[in-house]
Each structure stands twice: as C-alpha cells, then as structure tokens.
Structure 1
Amino acid sequence: MNWRRWLYAALLYLLLPYVVFHLLWRARRQPEYLQHWDERFGRYATRSMRPVIWLHTVSVGETRAAAPLIKALQASYPTHQILLTHMTPTGREAGEQLFGTDVLRCYLPYDYPFAVRRFLAHFRPQLGVLLETEIWPNLVQACHDAEVPLCLVNARLSQKSARRYARFGGLIQASLRQLTAVAAQTAEDAQRLTALGAQDVVVMGNLKYDIAPPDAALTLGRSLRQGFGPDRKVFLAASTRDGEEERILDALGGLTVPGLLTVIVPRHPQRFDEVAQLLERRGLRYQRRSARQAIAVETQVVLGDSMGEMFAYYAACDVAFIGGSLLPFGGQNLIEACSVGKPALLGRHTFNFADAAERAVEAGAALRVADEAELARALQKLLESAELRQRMGQAGLEFTCRHQGATGRVMALLQGLLPPSH
C-alpha cells in the first residue's frame, strides 16, 4: 500500500464515528437508513449460487439509467445472477420497483479495506460495473487484487467534480488506471477523465437515452390525466430540490391559466412533508398522490409523494419543469420528459446533465429560463399554444431517438470481459 492509499485508509478509520453519526442523522428524516447497517460494512445474508455480474448504482437516477443495460445482460447471460448495489435507501427501493426478485440488491460497503474485501469474497463477482462517477480507491484496489474486472461506464464528470477529484491527485490517478475499462458519455467527460489519469477512455453515449417508457407507466399516465381533469392544463414540476418549490409557486402566481393544475414531485421523499407544509402556508388547496383520492375541481396542487411514477407524471402533464436547475444543484434528467413527447423547461444550472441539456435546447425540445420570472413567461406561452407544445414534444421524441444506442456499445465492451454464458 503506497503512502497515499495508507493516508486515505487512515482518514477513513478516523471518520468512522462520523459515518455512524451520519447514518443516524439521515435516519431522522428517512428511517430506512437504520436498516441493513451490516451490509455497509461488508456483511450479507443473501448469497447467489450462480455466477454474479455486479452493477453499482448509487441512487435513483443511476438505477433507472442501468435498466436497459440490466435487461440486455439478463438476455445475454440467463445463467448469471445480476447483483445491484446502492448507497441510498431510495436507490434500493427503485431497484426493487424496477426489477423485483429478478436481481439481488444490497448496499455497497463503505470504502474500508476490510469491508470491500468481505463484499468481494462473499459474492465473488465475475465482473463489476460502476455507473457514472463512482471512484472508490480501496474498492478499485480490492477488485484489482482479486482479479475482478471493474469497468466505469456511462461515466460523466462535470468541471466541478473534476476539480474535486483533482485535489486527491495521485490517489485518483492510480485508481483510474486500475480500472479495466472506462466508457464516457461525451467527449468532454472523456477529456476530464483522461486529465485525471484514466487511460484509453472511449465515448459510448448516455444509457439514459435508451430508457423506454414502460407501457404500465404510460397507461397509468393516461389514467392520471383523466383523473386530473382532461380539460385542465397540467404543469409538472419534476424532481424539485430544496428552495425551488417556493420559487416555482411564485412563478405560478403570475399566470392567467384558468383551471391550471400543478403537480409537484420533490426529488427526495424525506421532503414530502416539508413541501406539504409549504403548500399549507401558502393557503393552496392540495391533495397528496399517496391518498389515491379523486382530484377535486378546486384542487390547485397535487403533491406527488409517490415513488416510481415519474414516467406516469410526465405522460399526464402538458409541460414539465426539470428540477434541480433553478437553483445550483446541477439539474435532473430531462430525457424522460423528452421520451414521452413533453416540452421541458430548464433552469440555468444543468451541469450534471450539461450535454443532454444543451442538445435538447438546440433541438427545440427544451427551453432554458434564468429565473422564476422567465419561468412564468415561458410557461404562460406554452400553456396558451397547443401548436408550440406539439412542436416541442415532437422535437423531444426525435432528439431522444437520435441519441440512442449506448446500451449496445456498452454491452459489446462487457461481453469482451465476461466468459460465455452456458
């Protein structure tokens, strides 16, 4: 172990009390953090009797992005077991909703040497796949020592993240060089990864373009729309982050759209009650989606406090705002809105999805707004013009189709590293 890795491991051990405190703190708002603590330190009750292909998807976004790749792996390797690891309870729940009992699910242990070695010894994966921007030095080293091929795919790296990783210099460089393969989303991502020390980075596109709206979600979307009121205009504020709901409600206050129904879906479930309290303070008539009650004519806002229904919400709306972009959170995935043919509104802060956001705006599938005043103007214009909504929606469908194919390219890469399925 070189001195950088030794110092990193020593720092992790010093932070162990904080790790426990962090889990307890998160559990105040999300009690699920109290569950499966043993897994976070490399102890597991589940085991597979079949060869394991392991994919790590941190939370909800990465888990959804992995769906087409997991389906392709299951089709090509029917005798293997897919193991899906997460870091958050919401990611774990998303995995259960998407794949049921078809995949094993557990938490990836924290990056302690003893914990990651236990994880690998327990599951003995034939291949490991990290999605997006997960670089854990001790995990990478343990895979290297155990001769487990480890790939980073659908990799994206914003300038902000690149600067953060660069602070760790040689440690990150050594980890990147121990990866078996790196497949980036864009040329810009590839350049940043190469600058940090990754070798032979290939550009394969974004798996999220390959996510097809499930038929069940589209059927639910039609049902929701009927329940919302087929003659009402419906505005969706999707995956909103802390502080954005107030600004969105300010924007809505200036609209003149008779019967407008707004659906607000906070990004994190632990904020559902917080947003409900905000609606109450504003004196707005609202209903919770979780109540599963008919939407009253006088209802102004539906609080989307349900999990796994985002495609249905997109299918049920006229216009969608993509959260995390009005304030500097980096934005959320806009491809889902485009894939069901709905106009998307974006704030200025889209660095987490910079390439997709710019391409969608250029294609005419999305509009960018600087603040809540511009949001109000753009929304008023869109809700008044069915022709404009139709044009943007069609542009979104074409934009999504044009950028598909990453799953096939990543599969070709992985098949070169896996033994044939029998």
Structure 2
Amino acid sequence: MSSAMARMALAGYRLAGVALYPLAGPYLAFRAMKGKEDRSRRLERLGYASQPRPRGPLVWVHSASVGETLSILPLIRELRRREIYVVLTTGTVTSAALVEARLGDEVIHQYVPIDVKFPIKRFLSYWKPDASITAESEIWPTTVAELARRRVPQIRVNARISDRSFSRWHNHAKVAEALFDKMALVVAQSDLDAERFRDLGAWPVIVSGNLKSDTDPPPCDELLLEKYKAEIGDRKTWAAISTFDGEEKAAATVHRALKAKNGQLTIIVPRHPDRADAIEAMLKEEGLAVARRSRNDELTPETDIFLGDSIGEMGLYLRLTEIAFVGRSLTNEGGQNPLEPAMIGCAVLTGPNIQNFRDAYQHLVRKGGARMVKDVEMLAKAVHYLLITDPARAKMVEAGTDAMEDLRGALGKTIKALEPYINPLTVTARLQPKVAAAGNIR
C-alpha cells in the first residue's frame, strides 16, 4: 500500500464514522440496556463533559481496561503530586468503578468518547489537554489525527503490542506509519515491544519495563478477609483468576478430580463478572455447590466453589490462597497479568497462551515463581502437588516475590522519560492560583 492509499484509507475510516454517527445514540442506549454502558453517563461517550474543567495544566490519560488502569495508578498519582490535573478516561463500567474506588476525587473521570470526529472534537475542545498519555496498546485513528492537528503531544506508556496486532499493523505498514509517527514518545514494556513500535514508525521509543511491577498489591477489606478465613478454616484452597469462557469448566474439572483427595475449596474469579449467572449454572450442572461473593453467601464445609463475581476485590481472593492459576491462557489466547498474584504471595500457574505477558512470565518461570501447564490434566496434577507439598509451594511463593523485586523500577524510568513534557506543566501548575477541582458528578 502506498502512502497516498494509506491516507485515503484513514480518510475513509473517518468518513465512515461520520456517516454512522446518527446511530451512535441508539447503539449506546442498547449497550446501556445490556449493562455495558453507564446509562446516566452515556453522553460522555459522545464527548459531552459531565464535570467542569479545572483551571491549570491538565493531562488526558486514557486506559481502556481494569488492568491498564491499575498499571498507571502510580503515574497518575505522580502527576497529581506535581499539581497537574488529570482527566482519566476508561472504556468500561468495571474500570470506572475501579477508578472511583482507588482514586476518588484525585482525578476527573470520564468515559472515553467514541472514535468519531464530532465526539472527539467536542471532548478536546472542552478539556483542552496539554498532553495525552495512553496506556498500553489501543490506537484510535480519528483521535490520533485530531490530537496531532491540535499539536497535543501524544505519549504511550507501558506500551506493548501483541503478536497478532503487530502482524496486522505490519501488513498495513503505510497506515501504521501514518499513525505511529504522530506519537511524541513511546515508553515500551520490553525490548521486543520497542523494536516493534520502531518498525511501525514510532520515534523516539525507550524501554521502561512493566509499570504493573511498580504498583502496590491490590487492597482488600481486612474484616471480610478474616470472615472468609474463619469460614474456610483448615481447608486447602486454590484459585483460578481472570478466567475466560471454558476456563471455569476446566477449574470445575480440576476440582472434581481432586476433591476426594484434598477436600479443597476452589475459588473462581471470572475476568468479566457479568458472566457469573452462566458460570454458576454450569457449575451446578456439574453437581458442585456454589457460593457467590455478590450474594454474600457463607462458605460452608459443603461449598465446592467460591465464585468471586465482584469488582475490585482481587486482593481479597488472592489472600485466601497461595496457589493461583491465571486465565486467558488455557482455552483462550493472550494471557492475563501474573504480577498481582506473585506480589501477594501466590505460586502462579498458567496455560501456554501467554503472548501478551511473555516477558513477565519468562522472568517468573526462570526464577521459579511460575509454572506452565499445557492442558487440564496437567493443571490438576500441578494444583494437587502444590496443595500437598508445602515446601514446594513455599519455594514458588518466595521465588515469585524475588522476581517482583527484580522487575521494579519501571515507574522511575517512565517519569524520567516524561520529564520534558511534564516539567513545564509542573512549573505552570505551581504558579497558578489554587482552585480546587470539582468531585465526580453523577
């Protein structure tokens, strides 16, 4: 594809967005009926602000998912420490709930506007960001073009690009170059990610490591933790976390295979809690007794599965066990973040499909904090071995903790890379009269 054809393709994308824009309202209303949009705030997706813009320097930070939001919490707090305002956009109801729980009024939260000319222009004209920082991997062509037109520096932090995404972009190299060369800076997670961003036209690109390794362990309610520990008593436990379709059934199969030997409690935490009803029905068809966190069910000696169908309580579930299988790796592809269970003190198990977190897993496996299983049978054997072999489990937990210490430092490298962009804003902010930002508007 030539450069001219790439420009035509991007122009066609923008025109298609404009043509379909009249359908945006009904589409968002439909998603709200399904629980996938916040009904009271869906106008934010069309670029309408629900809060006043504070006076002073402001950075637009975007993180699409819960994982990405967690990874940049320390960076956001550093911006606020420098008295720079942050409007943080996310794409899901779940991530919005996390922002409210973890950051409260430290930031201004908005739902990200859809990637169409009118909402994006409306959003940028109102908020007038001095810089744009996006976490990890999303690329939205209309947003990139409009930010470039307004000469707003576009920075990507904790940036990664999966095998599939890189192949797709590489097959459309000129389109990629037209977008990636508009980035002012890319701070990549790994050398491989950095090489891929450079190949696609980004410059400059530096490597920081994974920001998730510098986050604090996910918190939990200590009273709830003690309550559930008392209900579990001396039963052995293991957890399957961040699971996707098919992996809950795999966890049920493991549970049934080991129940007679260990009498264990199995904790299942689906990546998308809105699937909990379907998961519970499947588990009951398997003849298993299920307690759900969302119903505050008691964990009795007869409970087979504790279904963690709540938002923002991963810290609770992980503190109830020392063995964690991390999903989207056995029956799905890409993997999920293994760093949280490692930092809390869990021996980590994973399936083979971990392309999105390759570096983190390689380090954990090399240090002895994680083990890969190829199928359900191998998962059952690994869980059984760790349940009955305290020294082996303790050795994996200690190795995971050591691995996490090795990985720290990404935040400092990221802040240093951002200094040319945020230092001037810090100076301006500290010269501004102090005006409090408004809290969240509901």
Structure 1: which 5+ residue stretches go unaligned?
A: none
Pick closer, same or farther for the CA change 1:329–1:24 going to 2, 3 Å.
farther
1:63-106: CA deviations, max 9, x gaps? 1111111122222x12x222110111111111111111221111
Partner of 2:62: 56
Alpha-carbon RMSD across the aligned residues, in angstroms, is 2.0
Distance 1:273 1:7 in 2: 41
Aligned to 1:12, what secondary structure does the other structure show? helix
Aligned partner letter, 1:202? I
Distance 1:250 1:352 in 2: 26
Partner of 1:223: 226
Does the 8 Å CA contact 1:66/1:207 hold for their aligned counterparts?
Answer: yes
Distance 2:291 2:330 in 1: 24
1:109-128: CA deviations, max 9, x gaps? 11112221211111111221
Pick closer, same or farther for the CA change 1:176–1:221 going to 2, 3 Å.
farther
Bigger Cα displacement from structure 2, 60-69 vs 20-29: 20-29
Structure 2: which 5+ residue stretches go unaligned?
A: 431-442
1:363-404: CA deviations, max 9, x gaps? 110110001000001111000111111100001111011011
Distance 2:341 2:158 in 1: 20
TM-superposed deviation, 1:52: 1.3
- Determine whether 1:239 maps to 2:245: no
Pick closer, same or farther for the CA change 1:13–1:163 going to 2, 3 Å.
farther
> TM-score when scaled to structure 2?
0.90
Does the 8 Å CA contact 2:322/2:397 hold for their aligned counterparts?
Answer: no
Q: How does 1:9-408 map to 2 (within 5 A)?
A: 9-16=14-21, 23=28, 26-27=31-32, 29-30=34-35, 32-50=37-55, 51-75=57-81, 77-78=82-83, 80-214=84-218, 216-217=219-220, 219=222, 222-223=225-226, 225-255=228-258, 256-408=260-412
TM-superposed deviation, 1:35: 4.2
Aligned partner letter, 2:71? A
TM-superposed deviation, 1:229: 1.9
Does the 8 Å CA contact 1:322/1:346 hold for their aligned counterparts?
Answer: yes
Distance 1:194 1:394 in 2: 37
TM-superposed deviation, 1:17: 6.7
Pick closer, same or farther for the CA change 1:381–1:64 going to 2, 3 Å.
same
Does the 8 Å CA contact 2:64/2:91 hold for their aligned counterparts?
Answer: yes
TM-superposed deviation, 1:315: 1.5
Does the 8 Å CA contact 2:345/2:400 hold for their aligned counterparts?
Answer: yes
TM-superposed deviation, 1:169: 2.9
> TM-score when scaled to structure 1?
0.94
Aligned to 2:181, what secondary structure does the other structure show? helix
1:221-266: CA deviations, max 9, x gaps? 7425523423111111101101111122112222144330011111
Does the 8 Å CA contact 1:60/1:90 hold for their aligned counterparts?
Answer: yes
Distance 1:234 1:19 in 2: 46
Identity across the alignment (%): 35
Does the 8 Å CA contact 2:228/2:299 hold for their aligned counterparts?
Answer: no
Partner of 2:439: none
Aligned partner letter, 2:72? A
Distance 2:36 2:297 in 1: 26
Pick closer, same or farther for the CA change 1:240–1:29 going to 2, 3 Å.
farther
User: Which residue, out of 398, 408, 417, partners 1:413?
Assistant: 417
Aligned to 2:377, what secondary structure does the other structure show? helix
TM-superposed deviation, 1:171: 2.5
Distance 2:420 2:355 in 1: 32
Does the 8 Å CA contact 1:239/1:324 hold for their aligned counterparts?
Answer: yes
Does the 8 Å CA contact 2:290/2:304 hold for their aligned counterparts?
Answer: yes
Partner of 2:438: none
Aligned partner letter, 1:39? E
Distance 2:249 2:8 in 1: 48
TM-superposed deviation, 1:415: 2.2
Does the 8 Å CA contact 2:244/2:332 hold for their aligned counterparts?
Answer: no
Aligned to 1:236, what secondary structure does the other structure show? strand
Aligned to 2:383, what secondary structure does the other structure show? helix
Aligned partner letter, 2:14? A
TM-superposed deviation, 1:56: 0.2
TM-superposed deviation, 1:143: 1.5
Aligned to 1:262, what secondary structure does the other structure show? strand
TM-superposed deviation, 1:134: 1.6
